Amino acid sequence: MTAKFDILIIEDEEIAGKALAGTLKQKGYAAVWLPNGEEGLFHFKQHPVDVVLLDYKLPGMSGEEWLGRMKEINPLTPVIFMTAYSSVERAVRLLKMGAYTYLTKPLEMEEVLHNIENALEKVSLQRENKRLQQGLQEKYSFQNYVFNSGKMQEILNLAMRAAQSEASILVTGESGTGKEVIANIIHHSSARSDRTFVKVNLSAIPPTLIEAELFGAVKGAYTGSVQTRKGMFEEADGGTLFLDEIGELPFEIQVKLLRALQEREITRLGSTAPVKVNIRIITATNQNLEELVRQKKFREDLFFRLNVINIDLPPLRQRKEEIPHLVDLFIKKFNHRENKRIESVSKDAMNLLIKYHYPGNIRELENIVERAVVLSRDDSLGMRDLPVFLNREPDDTSPEQFSDSPLPLPERLNIIEKEIITRTLEKFNYNQSRAAQELGISESGLRYKIQSLGIRK
């Protein structure tokens, strides 16, 4: 065993902690002892750690609380609890919380070493799996997306089952979580996979042109309409139509979309002749459509028609175990584009990538890896290849946090604004009146921000 494995010991009894650290160092580990949870958490944030030995009863922050805080930072690190109080109920609870195992004091060094070695086997397998992941990615990933977490396995299963039906599907989630990828998976796993898949981003179309884009227009129907043309519904006939940012659809067009879905026919702008269409529709949004319905900005009957099956994608910060696999996937992608041969990521760099909170989700991670691949001069990505803002604390919403972010300025500003509003809402248990007062804006202004930024409780 070599010192490439870093072990963090959090134990309030100095003699026991130092003795344990000394023994582990003799066995070839790099071991650090700290006397309380606060110092331990700070060290965990700042340094790579392979295994944690954690005392159950600590001054200040309890062992259970420490585990919960640690899991938010990096859920991949095994945690071995140490306690003087044996309890089956407690052991079960800790294991459910994500602890690797549970040891009773006084510790038997042989047992400690055995459990550390077993935990490190898991760590070693995770590292080795980076090289062996290609086959798994072919099965569980589509177009720069990975399904390695339990939650995403459930979502993939739901998407595959939904694909076998003709039901309308609404995909929800923050920007950058992979909604379009899910739509791709559904189409290519359906009976319509050999037919057209038409994608429409409604937020990118001027409101005055949306009707013509969706349903088509006859010659002279509007200024500049010099010939009759098909809309997206007709282009997707026989296949799948994906309407992204459905919350941006103007209210007056919503009734026409509802009719098209109910009657399976559309009418071109400027015409009275109906045209039959046979499509499967998938929609997506980062907004809270139920809130828009309450505000009378989105038709309730259309919402129910679109939301037959809902697939809600969690943000990347809630499934950090996917980050190493996504990083590998993006490295391969940009290696090919940039004609480079980057084969690995240093332990420190990967640790930093896992700990970051990704307000921009998978899209932000991809941008970070792209930047790193472009700038790297070695065959391994290291700390110097990563932007400095990755070292910021998750709750630091100052403009400096994103000063060198690869995201465009409007997205950076939206991220900062969204984090500030979300934290304020959480502070007042989502009481919008009190949150608006705290933020110094009107309640209607806050509601608009919640809708436009896609904030959900």
- Domain ranges for the chain, please list them: 6-132, 150-312, 322-453
The secondary structure element, H or E, covering residue 241 is strand 240-244
The length of the chain is: 457
Pick the CATH number of 150-312 from 3.20.20.105, 1.10.10.60, 3.40.50.300, 3.30.428.10: 3.40.50.300
* Longest distance between any two alpha carbons in the chain, whole Å: 87
- Cα 202 from chain centre: 23
Q: Is the dihedral of CA 434, 436, 441, 444 positive or negative?
A: negative
Type of residue at 10: I
Average of per-residue pLDDT across 329-345: 92
- Decide if 300 contacts 325 (C-beta within 8 A): no
CA distance 231 to 221: 13
Specify the pLDDT at position 297: 92
Q: What rounded mean pLDDT belongs to the chain?
A: 85
3-state helix, strand, coil in the chain (%, to 5): 50, 15, 35
Specify the pLDDT at position 132: 42
Specify the pLDDT at position 433: 82
Average of per-residue pLDDT across 15-25: 93
Type of residue at 335: N
Higher pLDDT, 98 or 298: 298
The secondary structure element, H or E, covering residue 311 is strand 309-312
pLDDT at 270 over 90: no
Residues facing residue 201 across a β-bridge: 244
Query: How many C-beta atoms surround the C-beta of residue 282 within 10 A?
Result: 31
The secondary structure element, H or E, covering residue 280 is strand 280-285
Name the pLDDT band for 135 (thresholds 50, 70, 90). very low
- Cα 244 from chain centre: 18
Type of residue at 176: G
Secondary structure (3-state) at 101: strand
pLDDT at 41 over 80: yes
pLDDT at 242 over 90: yes
Name the pLDDT band for 98 (thresholds 50, 70, 90). confident
Average of per-residue pLDDT across 95-112: 87
Specify the pLDDT at position 401: 54
Full 3-state SS string of 34-61: ECCHHHHHHHHHHCCCCEEEEECCCCCC
Average of per-residue pLDDT across 356-365: 89
32-46, 293-307, 344-358, 425-439: which has the minimum mean pLDDT? Answer: 425-439
62-76, 164-178, 316-330, 442-456: which has the minimum mean pLDDT? Answer: 442-456
Average of per-residue pLDDT across 137-144: 46
Going by C-alpha positions, the residue among 142, 134, 193, 139 that lies closest to residue 163 is 193
Residues contacting residue 39 through CB under 8 Å, at least 6 positions apart: 10
The most confident of the ranges 80-84, 236-240, 406-410 is 236-240
Name the pLDDT band for 141 (thresholds 50, 70, 90). very low
CA distance 310 to 288: 12
Residues facing residue 8 across a β-bridge: 32, 52
Residues facing residue 361 across a β-bridge: none
Average of per-residue pLDDT across 274-279: 94
Going by C-alpha positions, the residue among 185, 104, 112 that lies closest to residue 146 is 185
Average of per-residue pLDDT across 281-290: 94
CA distance 265 to 112: 69
* Strand-pair category, 51-55 with 6-10: parallel
Type of residue at 116: I
On the question of a common fold for 6-132 and 150-312, the answer reads yes
pLDDT at 445 over 80: no
Q: Which CATH class is domain 6-132?
A: alpha beta
Secondary structure (3-state) at 222: coil
Name the pLDDT band for 149 (thresholds 50, 70, 90). confident
Considering the domain delimited by 322-453, tell me its CATH architecture: Orthogonal Bundle (1.10)
- Decide if 378 contacts 392 (C-beta within 8 A): no
Name the pLDDT band for 54 (thresholds 50, 70, 90). very high
pLDDT at 143 over 80: no
Name the pLDDT band for 121 (thresholds 50, 70, 90). confident
Instruction: Please name the residue that has the structure tokens 């072919």.
Output: 138
Higher pLDDT, 410 or 55: 55
